[in-house]
Amino acid sequence: MQQRSSSHWLRYLLRSIALGLVVAAVVIWVQPYISAWQASRAAPDQPVSFAKAVNRAAPAVVNIYSLSEVRGSYYNRRPNTVLRLGSGIIMDNVGHVLTAAHVVANVSSIQVALQDGRQTSAQVIGSDPITDLAVLRIELDNLPVIPQDQQLRSSVGDVVLAIGNPLNLGQTITQGIISATGGRMGVINSHADLLQMDAVINEGASGGALVNSEGYLVGINNAQFRGPAGQGVEGIYFAVPYALAYDIMTKLIEEGEVVRGYLGVNTGDRPQTQQQPGILVTGVDTNSPAERAGLRAEDYIIEIAGEPIASSQEGLALISNTAPGTELEVRFIRGNEELTTTVTISKLRY
C-alpha cells in the first residue's frame, strides 16, 4: 500500500513539473508582446518626423551664388552686376555638383557655400538646356555626398522633401507628395519628363534636392509652374527625375555635352478622323531632316524605324536617342494613302 502511494505521489510531482514548464514556456513566449503592449499604452504616440532623412541629405545640398553682368541703360552705359541665387547637390566625393542650368547660365563667376561653413569657387563642367541641368566642379576634401540609389523609382503618392536656399534665407525644407511621374514635357521650357509635386520651390531653391522620406535623392528641383499670364500657380512644382539627371550628369562629365537627334517637326493632338495611334505633324522646320525627306504638315506618323509610335513623347524620345547621321524609315498617312520615307537624323542645335 505504501509503495502504491509513493508511485502515485511521484506521478503527481512529475505532472506538476511538466505543467510548470509548459506555463513557463508560454510566459516567456508572450512576454515580448506584453511588454510592447504595455509600452504602447504607457508612452504617447510619437509625431511623424523626417529628421533622419534631413540629417542624411541636407549636408550635401549647397547654396550657389552666381554673378552676371547686365547691359547698362541708355543713361548709364556701365554694365550692372547682378547676383543670382540657386542651390545644388554634391553628387560624389570628387566634387561634382548637380544644379539647374538656368542657375549658372551666362554668369561670370560662381561661389558655392556648404552647410558646414566652407565656401569655394566652382567651374561649369557642362550644361544641358533641354533638361535644364548643369554640372559644376568644386575642389574641396571630405565632401558630404547625397544618398543615391540608381534602382530607385518614384511613384505617385510618395512623400518628398525639397531642400534648398529660397530667397537666401538659408537652407529650408518643404514637404509634399508626388502627384505625377511623367507626361509633363514642355511645361517649364524643358522637354524632359518631369516629376510633379506640391513641395514648395521658391526662387533660390532651384537646383536643390528632392529626397524621399529616407533621404535618398529622387529629383533635382526646378521651378514653379506658371500660367498663361506668367503668374505662379501654387501647389504645382517640378523636378527632373534622378535617373534622368544621373544619365545627363554622366554624359556632361564624360563628353562635356549631351548629343541628341533632330527630326524637325512640330506635332499636335491626334485628329478625330484617326483611330490609329500616331503623331500629327503640324509643321516642318525649314531645311530640316523632315523637310528633306518630304514630310509636311498634316502628315500622320504611325511608325519610326519599325516601332509603332503612340504619342509625341515616344516619338521625341526615340529621335532624341538616335545618333546624328542615322537613317530611319518613317511610315505615315497622308490623306487616305499610307506612305514610307527615309530620314537622316541630324544633331539637335540649341
Cα angle value 125/87/210 (rounded, 5°): 105
Mention every residue, 6+ apart, whose C-beta is less than 8 A from residue 262.
288, 289, 319, 324, 345, 346, 347, 348, 349
Strand 300-304 and strand 279-284: the pairing is: antiparallel
Catalytic residue among 128, 132, 193, 299: 132
Is residue 102 flagged as an active site residue?
yes
Which strands make up the sheet holding 109-113, listed edge to edge? 119-121, 109-113, 61-70, 80-90, 96-100, 133-137, 123-128
Alpha-carbon distance of 342 to 22, in angstroms, equals: 82
Q: Which of 145, 103, 147 is nearest to 124 (CA)?
A: 103
Give the DSSP H or E segment for 24.
Answer: helix 2-42
Are 111 and 97 a contacting pair, CB within 8 Å? no
Residue 160 is which amino acid? V
Are 337 and 304 a contacting pair, CB within 8 Å? no
Are 216 and 152 a contacting pair, CB within 8 Å? yes
Alpha-carbon distance of 242 to 219, in angstroms, equals: 4
Is residue 132 flagged as an active site residue?
yes
Is residue 96 flagged as an active site residue?
no
Catalytic residue among 66, 154, 190, 206: 206
Q: Which of 178, 127, 150 is nearest to 243 (CA)?
A: 150
Q: What backbone torsions phi and psi does residue 170 show, to the nearest 5 degrees? A: 105, 170
Task: Say how many Å lie between the first and final Cα of the chain, rounded.
Answer: 111
**Within 10 Å of residue 57's Cβ, how many Cβ atoms?**
26
Set of cell numbers at residue 333: 498617312
Mention every residue, 6+ apart, whose C-beta is less than 8 A from residue 141.
none
Catalytic residue among 66, 87, 102, 154: 102
Q: Cite the active site residues.
A: 102, 132, 206
